[in-house]
Amino acid sequence: MELVIADNRTEAGVLAGRIMADHVRRGARAIGLATGSSPLGAYQELIRQHREDELSFRGVQAFLLDEYIGLPEGHPQSYAQFIRDEFTSHVDFTDSDVHSPDGRAADIPAAAADYERMIAATGRISVQILGIGANGHLGFNEPGSSLRSRTRVKTLTPKTRADNARFFEGDLTQVPTHVLTQGLGTISDADHLVMIATGAGKADAVAAAVEGPVSAFCPASILQMHPHVTVIVDPAAATNL
């Protein structure tokens, strides 16, 4: 595992974006995207390189980590919409090449299996960007998730729903209770995992993920088992290392 302590949040985002851009320039067929605020700086860097340095995403498949169950199409907090608004619509991705689990499907377990099949059919994900939840979750793999899990339904913990209420105008009742998420096994199949964490609120989770025991109780500790991981933090998130 490579650990980078960036000077600040902006630099952390630029470094993560550069790593993703390198994979795309080297011919990545598929990349893994994440939502939440952590990867936004990386997406800004990719948008900049698209506009100024001819970085192109034509023909690249993008797979999102997770999606809420039950939000209507186009809901600004559905992850499919969020990634379009924050990243993919600002570069030259073809819409049909940007994939996310179908949180509106009539048969949710079938939608999970379909998503796994779609990723497998594309081949390998070259680079997967990741944030980390304050409780150590990756994607929506909450504490207790099997370290070898595949895409499936998860119930959000009260902590995660409370953390994410800020995206729903602070109204906890609007935060869905269930999600579809790639499993820790699915995430681990990517060639290169790049995790970005900034701010003091992530310091405990980062220390547990990087230096703690590998345990389902800190899902991000699965990073320690992967052959190619880059963790990029700012000084505040590195406090407990």
Of 160 and 186, CB closest to ligand GLP = 160
CB of 38 to ligand GLP, least distance (A): 3
CA 60 to chain centre: 17
Q: Which of 57, 115, 140, 168 binds ligand GLP (CB under 6 A)?
A: 140
Decide if residue 37 touches ligand GLP (CB under 6 A).
Answer: yes
Decide if residue 195 touches ligand GLP (CB under 6 A).
Answer: no
Residue 241, token pair as written in the block: 């290392």
Query: Which residues inside 199-218 make contact with ligand GLP, applying CB under 6 A?
Result: none
Choose the stretch contacting ligand GLP; rule: CB under 6 A; options: 22-30, 49-57, 133-141, 206-214: 133-141
Of 55 and 63, CB closest to ligand GLP = 63
Residue 236, token pair as written in the block: 């505040």
Give 183: exposed, middle or buried? Use CB within 10 Å, 0-12, 13-18, 19+. Answer: buried
Of 55 and 188, CB closest to ligand GLP = 188
Of 12 and 55, CB closest to ligand GLP = 12
**Residues whose CB is less than 8 angstroms from the CB of residue 207 and which lie 6 or more positions away in sequence, other chains included:** 240, 241
Choose the stretch contacting ligand GLP; rule: CB under 6 A; options: 69-77, 128-136, 143-151, 227-235: 128-136
> What contacts 24+ positions apart, CB below 8 Å, involve 48-57?
48/17, 49/17, 49/21, 50/90, 50/91, 50/92, 55/21, 55/24, 55/25, 55/91, 56/24, 56/91, 56/92, 57/24, 57/88, 57/91, 57/92, 57/93, 57/97
Which positions are annotated as active-site residues?
66, 135, 137, 142
Decide if residue 56 touches ligand GLP (CB under 6 A).
Answer: no
Decide if residue 66 touches ligand GLP (CB under 6 A).
Answer: yes
Residue 95, token pair as written in the block: 């819409």
Decide if residue 128 touches ligand GLP (CB under 6 A).
Answer: no
Note the residues at the interface with ligand GLP (CB under 6 A): 34-38, 65-66, 131-133, 139-140, 160, 164
